[in-house]
Amino acid sequence: MRMEWWILISVYAVSTGILFFIPKNKFRLAVVAILFKQVITFLIGLVVVELGLLEYPVRLFPSVNRTSFTYEYFAFPVICAAFNVWYPNNRSTIFQLAYYVGFTSVLTIGEIIIEKYTDLITYIHWAWYISWISICLAFYISRLFCNWFFAK
Amino acid sequence: MQMERLILAAMWLFGFAGFLLFIPRKDWRKGILAFMMFQAIIWLCDMPSFQLGLLSAPVREFPKASHLPITIDYWFYPILFSLYYVHKKVKGSRWPRFTYFLVWVSAITLSDITLERFTDLLEYKWLTWWGMWIYIWFLFYVSQVLCNWFFKDKAVFQTERRGI
C-alpha cells in the first residue's frame, strides 16, 4: 500500500484518539466545535479546489469529491475541538496568543511536510502563509461561535 | 440550466428567510445545532451514495470540486431539518408526533422526486422513490437522535456553559 494511505489511516487513528482524551463534561463543547468547523471547512475547501488553488491527488471518495474529506470532515474539526476544550481562558493574553500560534503553526508545519513529501496535497497557487492565516482565522471564528453558543 | 440556477437561488433565499422567520430568537441555538448536525450526517451519507452511483447531480455549484449538490446538502435540507426540529412537539402522545415526522419526511421526498423528474439538479440512478423516502427517513431519524442526546439533560448543558 502506498505511504499516502498509511498517513490517512494514522490521521484517522490519531484524531479518534484525541476524542477519547476530551473530558466528559466538555463533550458538548467538542461537538459544537467540530460541527461548526465543518460548516467552515466544507465551503472554503470546495471554493479553493474549484478555483484550482490546491489539489489533493490522493483522497477519499476520489471520483465524486476533489477536496480532502479526511482533513475537512474529521481531522481539522477534531483538532479544533481540542483547541476549544483546552483553551486557556484564565491565562494572560500573551499566553492565549501563544496558544493560537502554537496550534496554527503545528498544523501548518504538518501540512508543509505532507505537501513536500507526499501526494496528499499539492499547492498550485498557494503558499504556507495562506494556510497559516486561514487556519488561525478559522480557530478564532470557532472560538467566537463556541463562546456565543455556550454564553449564559 | 436557467431554471436550475433559479431554483438554487430560491433555495438559498427561502432557506435564509425560513430560518429568520420561523425560528424564534430564543431557539437559535437549537436551530443552528440541528442545522449543523444534519449537515454533518447528510454529508457523511451522501459521499458514499454518490460514489456508489445511487444518484448524481448533473447541474451543480462546484462542478470541478464536488459531484454533490452543495446547495441541497449544505444549506437547504439542513435548514428544513432545523425547522422540523425546533417546531417538533416534545410532549404529547406518540401518534401526532409520528405523523409530524412522517409529513416532513414525505414532503421532502416528494420535492426531491419532483426535482429529479423535472430538472437536472438531481438524477436517480438505481435509487427509487421509495429508496429516497427511506434514505431521508434515516437521515432525519439519526440527526434527531443525536440532537436529542445533545439537549437531553438541561442541567449538564448548564454546567458545560459555565465550564467554557
Range of the domain at B45: 2-163
pLDDT reported for residue B91: 82
Query: Hey, of A65, A84, A152, which one would you mutate to test binding to chain B, going by the most B CBs within 10 A of its CB?
Result: A65
Name residue, grid cell 444549506: B75
Report chain A's C-alpha Rg in angstroms. 16
Terminal-residue alpha carbon distance, chain A: 51
Query: What are the cell numbers at B144?
Result: 434527531
Q: How many CB atoms lie within 10 A of CB B111?
A: 13
Report CB contact under 8 Å: A25, B163. Answer: yes
CB nearest B70 (choices: A34, A46, A63): A46
- The CA distance from A50 to A96, in Å, is 35
DSSP result, B95-127: HHHHHHHHHHHHHHHHHHHHHHHHSSS-EESS-
Could you give the number of structural domains in chain A? 1
The domain in which residue A43 lies consists of 3-16+25-149
pLDDT confidence of residue B7: 96
pLDDT tens series, chain B, 164 aa: 789 999 999 999 999 999 999 999 999 999 999 999 999 999 999 999 999 999 999 999 999 999 999 999 999 999 999 999 999 988 888 899 999 999 999 999 999 999 999 999 999 998 999 999 999 999 999 999 999 999 987 656 656 665 55
Which residue of A22, A46, A48 is the best one to mutate when testing the B interface, meaning the one whose CB has the most B CBs within 10 A?
A46
Q: HEC states along B75-92? A: HHHHHHHHHHHHCCCCCC
Domain tally for chain B? 1
Distance CA A78, CA A96 (A): 20
pLDDT given for residue B2 in this prediction:
87
Residues of A numbered 28-57 whose beta carbons fall under 8 angstroms of chain B's beta carbons: which are they? 28-29, 31-32, 34-36, 38-39, 42-43, 45-47, 49-50, 52
Residues A59-90: tens digit of each pLDDT: 999 999 999 999 999 999 999 999 999 999 99
Using CB atoms, pick whichever of A47, A61, A151 lies closest to residue B47.
A61
